[in-house]
Structure 1
């Protein structure tokens, strides 16, 4: 089994993740609390690109779950599960002062990413 996208080399239980069709791949950015005292205390919550995309489609664009699932190329239940997990992670980051990281962040690896060594500040 390929460890594609999950960042580890061990086998996972259950069915492999279905590849989602993401319209804005690679255009996401991470967010962090502005309070300097909380900068590294809370930790980081990582969102997957498909979780961000389902949040955008349902909460921002106003699509229902069936329409969003069709655009993502997955079942309605899979879209709901991604949406539920994304909302849980965003709520955890907001309420507990954690950094909200997005896998595949467009700024990761460049000199403006605050999470890279020697990186600059957020604009």
Structure 2
């Protein structure tokens, strides 16, 4: 039996949760689903430029777990870009923190499997 998944800490839920190729109708698009923690991994490593150890510390996970998350996220984004798919950000297993690393959502992990509020 596998261990229960540790909660991943993220800075916040994204304001924009859907990206699609321009000029392609929605009904003819395939989607790639990126979890909130996968987006956070991309933000920390590729946008903020942090080292993997720093990223893992911020998300309160091990370095090997961070590596698996970032590789999964990059593979999904590459698939969407190269193959003209939409990217939908939703779901995951995460807890939100603010800049002072103070928890913003009660105790326990926020299990998010449904849609986020889309602000397109």
The question of a shared fold, defined as TM-score above 0.5 by the shorter chain, is answered with yes
Shift of 1:27: 3.0
**Which protein shows a greater Rg?**
1
Q: In structure 1, what is the equivalent of residue 57 of structure 2?
A: 70
Q: Does 1:31 pair with 2:42?
A: no
Structure 1: segments with no counterpart, 5+ residues: 1-12, 113-121
TM-score normalised over the length of structure 2:
0.71
Q: Report runs of 4+ in structure 1 exceeding 6 Å deviation.
A: none
Could you say which structure has the greater relative contact order, defined with CA pairs below 8 angstroms and 6 or more residues apart? 2
Shift of 1:105: 3.7
Count of residues paired in the alignment: 96
CA distances 1:72-95 after superposition (whole Å, capped 9, x unpaired): 000001011000000000000111
TM-score normalised over the length of structure 1:
0.70
Structure 2: segments with no counterpart, 5+ residues: 91-114
